[in-house]
Amino acid sequence: MSPANPAATLSTLPQTPLSAEPYRQIAHLVEGLDTAGLWWLSGYAAGLARAQGAVPLASVGANADSVAADHVERTRLTVVYGSQTGNARRIAEALFARLEADGLPVRLLRADAYQTRELKDERFLAIVISTQGDGDPPDDARALVEFIEGKRAPSLPQLRFTVLGLGDSSYPQFCAIGQRLDARFEALGAQRWVARADADLDIDSVATPWSSQLYAEAKEALKPRPQLASVTALRPHTAPVAWTRERPFAAELLANQRITGRGSDRDIRHLELSLEGAGLDYEPGDALGVWIENPPALVQAIAEALDLDADAAVEHGGDTRTLREWLGSKREITRLSRPFVATHAAHAGSDALNRLLAPDQREGLTALMAKSQIIDLLQEHPGVWTAEALVEALRPLQPRLYSIASSRKAVGDEAHLTVAHVEYRHGDALRWGAASHYLANREEGASLPVFIERNERFRLPTDTSRDVIMIGPGTGVAPFRGFVQERAVIGATGRQWLLFGNPHARSDFLYQLEWQDALKRGELHRLDLAFSRDQAHKVYVQDRLREHGRELFSWLESGAHLYVCGDATRMAKDVHAALLEAIAEHGGKSAEDATDYLNALQSQGRYARDVY
């Protein structure tokens, strides 16, 4: 809980520069601040510095050393990240920590915290940014990307820059945002400091050499700051997190229950996992990362399609395993990517695949990757592979992230998930989504390797009197189950409005009894439903938004926070368009003003999306 008036508390501190006692008092104060209080304190301190004629050196992500070390150094390095799932943040934080440990003037900023007016004065800039879906920036970087690509971007002849793009080559617009920013900086006159790098799912194989080269260049170009031992000693020392992405916790599966009815063509599961003894904590909005294994039947089918011995030893990168082990737990074998299609086209000598890889055949390649898995490609376009070449060509298996569908305050040492089991036919063959199939087939008592992935952009308002609007069709409703649980436990006084949709009310109304009970108890104040196939014309959540646009705009004008979770490809775009329409119509705004209104909500942290 933040102090009622942090400014009043700070004003009582002695003003002697770098005396130990004031900093000890500040450290005690800061430990008591919540997220909103920390943001406030950052702005307050910056204002004091400006009032005394200083220009702030550091912002979000910088520690006490960075703030107190010196006045503005134009030779500092600014590291900016735009991240949807946390990977860009992880890389940027590691780079920042390495440079800061050497005393180099560096600051770390999330893209939506970067002040665009500072761009014209930057000397060294590193951007780590992901690309979402069909060439979209992550939500926290939308405004920054628009500014850099827009007419207001300044000429940057003084700037040395570098860009690390993160993406998934399963999508046609692989690392498009990083590539666009790289080209735009060059067009603005900036000098490329380190060559742009594009990282696929095997992020570290590209990010590590890029970071190392940037580190070496920064060591040459930047002068280390004097270290303030007296301040450093006051920084709280906390134990490192025991369980991480690289070292997951073995969570026991307590429940695996299908929550769609018999008549549904969707198999959606509610999973409950035990975190007892892990010491892991999470907040509503965070995700649970799960390391999975591929279906054994699919592993065998790939080996047979290529006439390879699944139990033969294969050496790769100094690691020797059987081909079955490589394909089972170390390689992506369900998701097609453009590089693999190109490599297989060469192995198969396929003119048809080579034609699809032509620049003017983007739609055809996109359709192939959307409907086919690797096994389909191998069977439909036979080619000759060695086991070593196959392991080399396939991308490393990555953990899957699922929005946590519970509040830890409500369920204790557990984390709940809502997972749609992906299962369909390709011709006569049955195909599965690797992660959902793995989870759907785990029996209670099984152990799952998990870790917490923080999502600071998707948080409930710290002011519990604020209203909350939650839009979550299908499994996108998962985090909102946690939101409602959390707000009930803490006694929030703000209203909750949930908009949920799925095909059929009878068979696909996820958590129906829970929502009805929450309405009765006053923990949920409004529930609007859109069951698309229960009437002649299809109705979706975006249609409900248009129907109730007046109430929606009224809630927003009263300070409500707005959240969207679910499919990024269609739903999120359609919902965004409906929001703009409602704001324009009921706010009496032009299309441009409605866009500015929604962008302002996003910059204020009042419009957040968790889309995938």
| pLDDT higher than threshold 60 for residue 5 | no
What pLDDT band is residue 155 in, cutting at 50, 70 and 90?
very high
pLDDT band, residue 133 (cuts 50/70/90): confident
pLDDT at 537 over 80: yes
What percent of the chain stands above pLDDT 90?
A: 79
Q: Model confidence at 164, in pLDDT bands (50, 70, 90)? A: very high
Identify the pLDDT of residue 8.
42
Q: Closest Cα partner for 418 from 563, 258, 541, 295?
A: 258
What is the chain's mean pLDDT, rounded?
88
What pLDDT does residue 67 have?
A: 39
Average pLDDT over residues 435-448: 97
**What is the pLDDT averaged over residues 21-48?**
47
Instruction: Give residue-wise pLDDT tens across range 179-188.
Output: 999 999 999 9
Residue with tokens 């307050």: 44
Question: Residue 612: its pLDDT value, please?
Answer: 86
DSSP calls for 264-322: -S-EEEEEEEE-TTT-----TT-EEEE-----HHHHHHHHHHTT--TTSEEEETTEEEE
pLDDT at 28 over 50: no
Class of residue 105 by CB neighbours under 10 A (exposed 0-12, middle 13-18, buried 19+): buried
Quote the pLDDT of residue 227. 55
pLDDT at 64 (0 to 100): 37
| Interacting residues of 166 by C-beta distance below 8 A, sequence separation 6+ | 87, 88, 91, 128, 129, 130, 131, 175, 178, 199, 203, 207
Whether the per-residue pLDDT at 3 is higher than 60: the answer is no
pLDDT for position 84: 86
Q: Is residue 453 within 8 Å of residue 246, measured between CB atoms?
A: no
- Higher-pLDDT residue of 45 and 130 is 130
Mean pLDDT lowest among 49-63, 146-160, 375-389: 49-63
User: Which tokens sit at 88?
Assistant: 């860009």
Q: Which of 11-25, 207-221, 327-341 has the lowest mean pLDDT?
A: 11-25
